[in-house]
Chains A and B, each alone.
Chain A
Amino acid sequence: MMVNVTSSGTQRPLRRNSQTDEIPTMSAEEQIKDTVTTNDVVLFMKGTKAMPQCGFSNHVVGVLTTIGVEFQDVDVLADPEIRQGIKNYSDWPTIPQLYVKGEFVGGCDIISEMTMSGELDALLDKSGVSYSKEAAKKIRDANG
C-alpha cells in the first residue's frame, strides 16, 4: 500500500516512498488505482482526516467518522499530480471524492444526499463495510 499514515494522522505525499522519500516509478494514475483497490474506503480530500483544509472535505470526514466507517484519507494538496490525477481518474472536477471498493461514489453533495436517503447504508451493507446503523439513523433524525 502506498499511502502511509502515522499514528498522529500525518500523511506523507501519496507518491513518495516513506523510507527513501523518492518518487516511485508508478504513475499518478497507477498509484490512485492501487490505493482505491487495496483499501475498502478511500477519501481523496483537501487536508487530512485529522485536519481537513476545506469545508466540503471536512463535511464528508464528519459523516464517515460519525457513522464509524474506517477509511483511508489521501491529501490531494500534498501532491499536484494526485490532485489532477484523481480528477481525471473519476472524470469528476472537484474534491472531495469518496471511493468504496474501488468505485467512485461521489462528492460532498452526493454523500450528504445518500446519507439522508439511506442509500449510503445500503452501499456499505452491500460492500461489506462495517459502520454504525444507529449513528446513521441519528444523523437522519437530526437533519430530517
Chain B
Amino acid sequence: MSTNMMQTEIEGILRDAFAPTRLEVINDSAKHSGHSGHDGSGESHFTVVIESAAFAGMSRLQRHRKVIAALGDIPGQRVHALAIKALAPGEST
C-alpha cells in the first residue's frame, strides 16, 4: 500500500506556519529501501525545501529549529529522516 499522507501533512503544516514562497516536500524513502530506518511505510525519509520571508536574518540552526518545532513529533519519531533546506527569499539553493 502506498499513500502520501505524511507528505500532505508536512506540506499543510509548513504552509500554515511559514506562508512559504516556495515549498517542496520530496519523499526520498525509496532511495533508503532496506536500511534500518526504512520502516516499510514508504514515508520514512523526506527532504523539505522551503523559502519564506520568516527566515530572513536567522541562522541555519534557528531556521531548522523553527521548521522542526512546527512539525512537532514528525521529525525523528514519525519520520526517520527529514532533510531541511530553509531559505529566505533571494537566497540560492
A residues adjacent to B (C-beta < 8 A) = 53-56, 87, 91-94, 104-110, 113-114
In the bound complex, do residue A106 and residue B61 qualify as a contact, i.e. CB atoms below 8 Å apart?
Answer: yes
Bound CA–CA A92/B35 (angstroms) = 23
Number of A-B contacts (CB under 8 A): 36
A113 touches B76 (CB 8 A): no
Q: Are A94 and B75 in contact (CB under 8 A)?
A: yes
Best-buried of A106, A108, A109, A113 by chain B (most CB within 10 Å): A109
Q: In whole angstroms, how far apart are the Cα atoms of A31 and B60 in the complex? A: 27
User: B2 in the interface, Cβ–Cβ < 8 Å?
Assistant: no
Residue in A closest to B82 when the chains form the complex, CB atoms? A94
Q: Mark B74-88, 1 if CB is under 8 A from A, else 0.
A: 011100011111000
Given contacts A54-B37, A55-B35, A110-B60, contact A92 B68 (CB under 8 A): yes
* Option from A53, A55, A114 in Cβ contact (under 8 Å) with B60: A114
Report B54-81 CB contacts with A as 1/0, cut-off 8 Å: 0000001100110010000001110001
| Known contacts A54-B37, A55-B32; A109/B84 CB under 8 A | yes
On B, residues with C-beta under 8 Å from A are: 32, 35-37, 60-61, 64-65, 68, 75-77, 81-85
CB closest residue in chain A, given B83: A109
> In the complex the two chains form, is B68's CB within 8 Å of A93's CB?
yes
Which of B60, B76, B85 neighbours the largest number of chain A CB atoms within 10 Å of its CB?
B60
With A94-B75, A106-B61, A107-B64 given, name 8 new contacts (CB 8 A). Answer: A53-B36, A54-B37, A55-B32, A94-B81, A106-B60, A109-B83, A110-B60, A110-B64
C-alpha gap A107/B37 in the complex (Å): 17
Q: Is the CB of B61 within 8 A of A109?
A: no
B36 contacts which of A54, A92, A93, A105 (Cβ < 8 Å)?
A54
**Which B residues touch A91, using CB under 8 A?**
65
Closest chain A residue, CB of each to CB of B84: A109
